[in-house]
Amino acid sequence: MLRDELSLIVAVLNGYPASMARDDALRAVLRVTALAGAQAEPVAWLPIAAAPRDGTNILLRFGSDGVSQGKYVPGTPHPWKFIETNDGITWLVNHSVDGPGGPSHYMPMPDAKPKEKHT
């Protein structure tokens, strides 16, 4: 199973084929992180109404297949700022409203620090 997840992650790093769902890639990263002994966040989308609004970087979900890293920046008409790619190659910073048409769910960023192993 680990081989499948690693193959999926390599495919994403090499250009993200259009046939691959971003949610599948995210799940693979979290599974590999957990298998590697790093502390992974729960793989559950939370309602956007509960998302932090303090500039914390989080994963944003748009509809059923759009996932981007982003954060909330108050005081603007489009307070959600996020990284987006439409062609799988070019990355840009985009923005969205806080409501219909904006992100629907969020998830905390996975912890990149490995867990300390106690012996």
Q: Mean pLDDT, to the nearest integer, of 16-28? A: 59
CA distance linking residue 20 with residue 31, whole number of Å? 17
The conformational region for residue 57 under phi > 0 = left, psi -120 to 50 = alpha, else beta, is: beta
pTM of full prediction above 0.85: no
Instruction: Convert the pLDDT of each residue in 46-102 to its tens digit.
Output: 999 999 999 999 999 988 778 889 999 999 899 999 888 766 677 778 888 888 888
- Of residues 28 and 66, more confidence is placed in 66
Whose structure tokens read 């005081």?
Answer: 75
